[in-house]
Chains A and B, each alone.
Chain A
């Protein structure tokens, strides 16, 4: 049993480190994520002016790669997520991403960052502190890695 768990953990680690594309699911929509991209599930984003404010907020940051998407930001109001293209050279602080969303007046439910071929999920713990969550493919089928 211990050997089996070890193999699963190694496989999970390998999958996390070894691929430059991932898929995450938000509100039943599967989103393809490339290396140096982030996806944020945003709560309360119900209108086009909401989306505009979020785009304006990220436009003022230095960690967005404006050559991709719409000035580095893609907003899907239906599925309530924002996809970001991140500068490769930037060391992304997830709190800076959350800050932009909160300053636009909305809340983050979950944040996924794929950088250096490593997918990390962040969400808030019970104390309201943003924490990286263990990525466990076996127990969290919703978020899958793809080649």
Chain B
């Protein structure tokens, strides 16, 4: 079973990809969630495949992983004033202390227009055998030209399934967006969320 899973992860890694950006575009992304500290750098080889490196720290187990990250845009629907996407996500690598292999894979779907956004992501983490489901609904109270600051109000709901245990978390997040910079900050009193992304 584990072998099949690893083969699947490697297969995903070999085909894949994003969130993905424009061809030859680079992305640097740092985030801190209640579960992980995550630093990523990637280069979009095509408009639907991004590959890069990732350092992932599990804040609960104090383990750190060095990973190769793949994001693959499986399908995009471009419409007037809206866009929808399905991405396949994967990371494979090792624990930096004991070189034990580790992998993640997931599926991400989203739809957005200038003022509304919905997102659903499901990810599997092999080191804890856990599944994490993240759902987001977002609203931008105003629309602006791309050179001005855009604001999104996001409601994120996360469910983690691990060892027959389910845990839930709701966290409100504010996203600020200008040119090629994105910054997100959120808190629910007990947990906080931070994210910074730049495309170049």
Contacts and interface: CB of A to CB of B under 8 A. Distances in A.
Contacts, number: 78
B145 A77 contact: yes
Given A46-B113, A102-B47, A52 B81 contact: no
Interface residues of B, number: 32
Nearest to B199: A49
A95 interface: no
Interface size class of A (residues with CB under 8 A): 20 to 34
B150 interface: yes
A102 B177 CA distance: 23
Interface of B: 20-25, 46-48, 73, 76-83, 112-114, 143, 145-147, 150, 177-180, 182, 199
Nearest to B115: A46
A44 B21 contact: no
Interface of A: 27, 43-54, 56-57, 60, 75-78, 80, 102-107, 109
B22 A47 contact: no
Residue from B22, B73, B76 having most chain A Cβ neighbours under 10 A:
B22
Contacts of B76: 44, 105
Contacts of B77: 44
A103 B25 CA distance: 10
A46 B22 contact: no
B180 A105 contact: no
B40 to A, nearest CB: 15
